[in-house]
Structure 1
């Protein structure tokens, strides 16, 4: 079964909402985009693998003013992995308070559950070297 247009829009909106929730400080809203047991892998950024929505929220609070002031997601590519499972890869830019910008890649596993689509696994990798994964 191929991914419907409606599913593509819902998943893209889900990925886009992360930045809006983060930037506005609506960290409780993460429960609307991540599964309760999400594995959020920020090992590449020095943070290890965060398990669960509460751990992501606590990590963001611990960063405080070191959080980006703006998250921008672009170039979202979706591929169906199985019934109710989609792989997504996207590019992200994080703008820091001092005006510097970091480039990231999000690799997500998105699953359909009783509450609709949610991100169940995310790997965040910093882009530090051109022309490489």
Structure 2
């Protein structure tokens, strides 16, 4: 699969895919005889994982460390697990913060609805 197809499939720009390759997040992307990147299914699964982690807020630094460990093999499994556990805790913390923000928004929206309804009642 060419880079443009991978880009479209995962919603990641071709420039970003090249950047990920340049900094080592994506490794082993095969090229055809003309030197054009030719992503295989394993590469696509890696792109999908990387996108998921970035969408979840994982920093480039943490993702680079994780992927470097991944490419080194099974002896790095414990450290990779720790990185993912840290990411999970960050997500849980952000969920709590978002729930708090959502509650505040709901409160303010309800307040405005009450005020607007009261004003409509006065105008009747």
Band the TM-score falls in, shorter-chain normalisation: under 0.3
**Which has the bigger relative contact order, CA under 8 A and spacing at least 6?**
1
Higher strand content, 1 or 2: 1
TM-score by length of 2: 0.25
Larger radius of gyration: 2
TM-score by length of 1: 0.24
